[in-house]
């Protein structure tokens, strides 16, 4: 296997840091980005010129373009574009303010879009590449108090699903990594924003806090081998659950969804009307 060149957002901590170090330790080269350059600069002390630390705020379009161009110029190519930068927002749909939701989507969704759009011309020109997006099990199923975070990841998932079809003719692969709960810094104050609570939801808030506190968390250091195997695969999957908790939850959710769609199928079909050709509204 030849060495790969990675461009990783959110490489200062959590999965971004774990996977950046794993790629470097096996001999790959990495453009490691973070909001604060100091948070990734120390990687150079360990890995020398195989790492390019870059300051990057994914909400800044100009800086995204500059960082992607700098990485490509420095290494001469990009094989894996890993979008990991993001954070969570806790609160019910009623509690979360519009400004908080806009800020969430600026990073989790639009930040990823900016990186993809900046990288694609280089990947198309070289006729290869792998766009990898870090989603979540909550990009497949939603739970109370995290509905807006899930919304950002559901949009994230839809974008990557369409992207995979659009760029396949150019030799570009797309994969969504969907981790469950892990003992990373994602639960820290830097990675979680909490909306002011409303009294009617106090019981739900306490219930969800207890549920999360009792939740089994995976070991982040157990993930690199699986993620590297996906990246190295000749035909990588569009969706890949990181950890053992995602698939059982997806089975349960889709079983319920399919059952409900089937229950209402006759009424759905009655709304089809007479088939015609022409403009389609979806």
Candidate list 122, 149, 150, 182, residue with the active-site label: 149
Candidate list 4, 12, 122, 135, residue with the active-site label: 135
Cα(121)–Cα(278) distance, rounded to whole angstroms? 34
**3 state DSSP class of 50:** helix
- Region of residue 269 (phi > 0: left; psi between -120 and 50: alpha; otherwise: beta): alpha
Q: Is 135 a catalytic residue?
A: yes
Q: Is 201 a catalytic residue?
A: no
Burial class (CB in 10 A: 0-12, 13-18, 19+), 33: buried
Beta strands 51-55 and 29-34: pairing type?
Answer: parallel
Q: Is 214 a catalytic residue?
A: no
Candidate list 122, 150, 153, 182, residue with the active-site label: 153
Go through 235-254 and write b for each residue having 16 or more CB atoms within 10 A of its CB, e for each that does not: eeeebbbbbebbeebbeeee
Burial class (CB in 10 A: 0-12, 13-18, 19+), 217: middle
Mind telling me the catalytic residues?
A: 135, 149, 153
């Amino acid at each position: 296997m030849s060495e790969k060149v990675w461009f990783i957002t959110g490489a200062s901590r959590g999965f971004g840091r774990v996977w950046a170090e794993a790629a470097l330790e096996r001999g790959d080269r990495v453009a490691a980005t973070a909001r604060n350059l100091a948070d990734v600069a120390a990687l150079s002390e360990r890995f020398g010129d195989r790492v390019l630390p870059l300051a990057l705020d994914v909400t800044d379009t100009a800086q995204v373009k500059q960082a992607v161009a700098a990485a490509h110029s420095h290494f001469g190519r990009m094989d894996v574009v890993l979008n990991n930068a993001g954070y969570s927002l806790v609160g019910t749909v009623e509690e979360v303010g519009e400004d908080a939701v806009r800020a969430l989507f600026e990073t989790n969704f639009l930040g990823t879009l900016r990186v993809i759009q900046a990288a694609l011309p280089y990947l198309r020109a070289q006729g290869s590449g792998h766009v990898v997006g870090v989603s979540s099990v909550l990009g497949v199923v939603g739970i109370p108090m995290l509905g807006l975070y899930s919304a950002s990841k559901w949009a994230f998932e839809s974008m990557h699903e369409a992207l995979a079809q659009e760029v396949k003719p150019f030799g570009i692969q797309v994969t969504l990594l969907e981790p469950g709960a892990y003992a990373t810094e994602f639960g820290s104050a830097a990675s979680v924003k909490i909306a002011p609570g409303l009294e009617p939801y106090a019981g739900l808030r306490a219930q969800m806090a207890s549920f999360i506190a009792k939740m089994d968390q995976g070991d982040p250091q157990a993930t690199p081998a699986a993620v590297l195997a996906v990246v190295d695969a000749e035909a990588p999957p569009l969706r890949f659950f990181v950890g053992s908790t995602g698939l059982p939850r997806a089975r349960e959710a889709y079983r319920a969804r399919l059952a409900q769609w089937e229950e209402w199928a006759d009424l759905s079909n009655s709304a089809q009307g007479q088939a015609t050709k022409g403009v389609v509204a979806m």
